[in-house]
Structure 1
Amino acid sequence: MSDKKIGFVGYGAMAVPMGENLKKAGYDVVAFTPSGKAAGKPSNVPMLSSPREVAENVDVIILCVPDDNAENKTLNGENGLLAGLRKGQLILDTSTVSPPQADHLAKIAHEHGVDVLDTPMSGSTPESERGELIMLAGGTDAVLERARPILDIVGRITIHTGPAGSAARFKLVVNGVMGATLNIVAEGLAYGLSEGLDRDMLFNALQELAVISPHHKRKLKMAHNKSFPSQFPTRLMNKDMGLLLDAGRKTGVDMSGMAVAAQKLARSNLSHRDEDYSALFAQMEADVANAPS
């Protein structure tokens, strides 16, 4: 395997910039999506007819799908990925899936003689476009070194989290912190508005404080402008919080704060499903505006 031919299964908002960056670096890139189209702007990446066809024509397969169900659909069946796998290939799973799903993929890849890393990413579309994602990698040292040239193009750093499945678990930690922290900032903002503090002052002042992360300052800017372009849609954050709480329930760990945030995001998902998850600010602003006087 030369590892110069890469096939994406799932070619959405995060994958398209990754593919473009890999093409610029000299890789041959193809993709499959159920719709037969790439997300967002037009792409010159050839679109193949099935996951099986992707597997039959590449050295490296990058999975970038929304959830466990979508991943299993791409894997199984007559035209599924497993039907076209060849020994010696490499699978990089950039999807955010449940820990059992990550373990399942590692097992079946091993059975097919295929190298695999769970490689979920931390970052949104701006980081993907710039090739500055933080890539999390679960798997052996040898497979990580094989994948590193690819990971170094799509990301600015790769964190080796441990054995196969560990990156999928750590990604839930990352997204849980993101979701719960956003909820705390939104609650603070809502309190300030309820006390009659000036809206512009609140948003501008919070942008200056070290206690607000750079990520959440970007989300505050969206909320200030009342515009929520979907860098990380609410539906996906809502899904990830559910995965985290389910996993935590199985270990027995107390995640009360995460659970509260998950409920808030689930409610926001009813109205802001396809907007950025920072639309939670809009939900809470509306609650303040509609509260009885």
Structure 2
Amino acid sequence: MTQLSPENASKIGFIGYGAMASRMGTHLKKAGYSVTAYTPSGKSPDPSVRMAGTPRDLAKQADTVIVCVPDDEALAASMYGEHGALAGIKTGTLLINTSSVSPEATTRLADAGKKVGITVLDAPVSGSTPEAEAGSLVILVGGSANDIENAQPIFNAIGKVTIHAGPSGCGTRLKLVINGIMGAGLTTLAETIAYGLAAGLDRTMLFDALDQVAVISPHHKRKLKAAKDSNFAPQFPGRLMQKDMRLLLDAAAREAVPVPTIAATTQMLSLGRRKYPNEDYSALIGIMEKLVANDT
């Protein structure tokens, strides 16, 4: 199968072109691809990118369609119906869904793609805006080995590692596993930092000490450094992390897997989403710190 290099599949259509997708698009353009985008607002962070009027219009022009939208509802709105991408996509086109959505939404899209003669890869990414900026995302792909090999030049342009998670749907499921670990780890940090402060530990010492220990991941150390300065600029907005916890909680229930830690994490991140939906999900650290400060 021929790989989708700039020489034989140069036109990429991006549905959803926000903080993550626009950074991916920049790397794809550097690799020689042309990028057209669609957003519901008609706006793009990159004014040099041509915007399509509807997902259908975009799909008609593209050799490969990449989708990067926030949730199941946005995916359905962009894929289905009279103006959806599937109404205009060409037979043989590859559709790469990088969105973090439910396993059910992933299965529906794969089945719909078969009906119109296209291949769909679920390929959510692990990493936030810094990794997207650096082109060092980890791509978690569900699909056949041949289809993934076909798309590899695109994945190489936006990421440092491509993981073949298994058949269609497995990329989505692996993404939920990874984000569950992220969310639970951050919630534990928020709670234990609150305890330390309430117990009288010096704030600067506490944050600096946690930055030195091996039990905390590099990702969470980055969050700690920002939280020390009360910087919760959105690299991964709280509304999206809470959504992923909700998806994992539902997916685990469907498999009859008890996940009480994830259930508690979802509740804590719901608090974060309620207070600061568009700030980074690590704003939960700040919420817990304020709670302790107000009680002392």
TM-score, with normalisation over the residues of structure 1?
A: 0.97
Query: 2:27 matched to which residue of 1?
Result: 21
Residue 160 (str. 1) matches residue 141 (str. 2):
no
Matched, 1:104 2:108: yes
Letter in 1 for 2:113: A
Taking the TM superposition and a 5 Å limit, the aligned residue runs for 1:1-293 are 2-39=8-45, 42-291=46-295
Task: State how far apart, in whole Å, the 2-side matches of 1:151 and 1:93 are.
Answer: 12
The 3-state SS of whatever aligns with 2:120 is strand
Structure 1 stretches of 4+ moved >3 Å = none
- CA distance in 2 between partners of 1:278 and 1:222 (Å): 9
2-structure distance, mates of 1:45, 1:20 = 10
SS at match of 2:211: helix
Q: Say what the alpha-carbon RMSD is for the aligned residues.
A: 1.0
CA offset digits 1:69-89 (Å, max 9, x no partner): 001001122211111011110
**Whole-angstrom CA distance in 1 between matches of 2:47 and 2:181:** 33
Q: CA deviation at 1:151?
A: 0.3
Equivalences, count = 290
Q: Helix, strand or coil: the match of 2:90?
A: coil
State the secondary structure of the residue aligned to 2:51: coil
Q: Which amino acid aligns with 1:285?
A: E
Gaps of 5+ in 1: none
Cα deviation code 1:157-213 (max 9, x no counterpart): 000000000110110001010000111111111111011110000001100111110
Determine the C-alpha separation between the residues in 1 that align with 2:9 and 2:282.
38
The 3-state SS of whatever aligns with 2:185 is helix
Per-residue deviation, 1:290: 2.0
